[in-house]
């Protein structure tokens, strides 16, 4: 996944930045998304069932929305780390 993010960023900036300049952002995003994926496996399964039982379909939507917000936080952090 890190290699994909590293090379994908290089393609998106059309080679205007060096590979070393892009590496910290790719590492940050890889570590963050891997951690989010592990936390999702542990927490979200039970959360989806509980929210569906308590709130119905909208509860499941809120659970997925919280995961998407987490992914957005890592991509925003990636931009911050990449600008250093």
pLDDT per position in the chain (84 positions), as tens? Answer: 777 777 788 887 888 888 888 888 888 888 888 988 888 888 888 888 888 899 999 989 998 998 899 888 888 887 777 777
pLDDT at site 44:
82
Q: Determine contact, residues 54/62, Cβ cutoff 8 Å.
A: no
pLDDT at site 55:
92
Number of domains in the chain: 1
pLDDT at site 18:
81
Query: Structural domain of residue 46, as residue ranges?
Result: 2-82
Q: Copy the structure tokens of residue 32.
A: 């963050």
How many angstroms separate the Cα of 35 from the Cα of each of 8, 28, 42, 54? 20, 11, 11, 27
């Amino acid at each position: 996944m890190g290699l994909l993010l590293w090379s994908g960023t290089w393609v998106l900036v059309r080679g205007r930045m060096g590979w070393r300049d892009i590496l910290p952002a790719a590492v940050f995003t890889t570590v963050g998304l891997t951690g989010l994926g592990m936390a999702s496996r542990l927490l979200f399964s039970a959360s989806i069932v509980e929210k569906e039982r308590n709130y119905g379909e909208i509860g499941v939507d809120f659970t997925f929305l919280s995961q998407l917000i987490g992914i957005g936080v890592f991509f925003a952090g990636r931009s911050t780390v990449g600008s250093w």
